[in-house]
């Protein structure tokens, strides 16, 4: 019976930690979203467009854009090696 009690205590402890992590991640997500909004606002004030927001809007209208976007950013292995040697 002591093993069952120990396992129950461990489960409770893990559940508490999981809830704390969820809360921390939610806070981080909120902070990141606020920072993204601040950057977008700053870019608009400078007369620049927020490319990230523009691409999000495009994805809403055309779900295939995301798949095409991934393919465009994949570099062939030789290009990756060339970029690494430049650095």
Instruction: Report the distance separating Cα 21 and Cα 37, nearest Å.
Output: 24
Q: Which pair of structure tokens corresponds to residue 30?
A: 């909120």
In this prediction, residue 60 carries a pLDDT of 52
Residues in the chain: 87
More confident residue, 49 or 25: 25
Residue pair 36/52 in contact by the 8 Å Cβ criterion: yes
What's the pLDDT tens digit per position in 38-65?
Answer: 999 999 898 865 455 555 555 555 555 4
Q: Which pair of structure tokens corresponds to residue 81?
A: 């090696």
- CB within 8 Å of 53: residues ≥ 6 apart: 40
Residue pair 50/40 in contact by the 8 Å Cβ criterion: yes
């Amino acid at each position: 019976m002591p093993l069952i009690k120990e396992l129950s205590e461990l489960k409770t402890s893990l559940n508490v930690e999981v809830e704390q992590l969820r809360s921390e991640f939610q806070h981080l997500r909120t902070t990141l979203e606020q920072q993204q909004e601040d950057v977008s606002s700053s870019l608009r004030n400078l007369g620049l467009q927020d490319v990230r927001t523009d691409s999000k809007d495009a994805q809403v209208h055309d779900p295939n854009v995301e798949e095409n976007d991934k393919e465009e950013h994949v570099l062939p292995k030789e290009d990756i090696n060339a970029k690494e040697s430049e650095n």
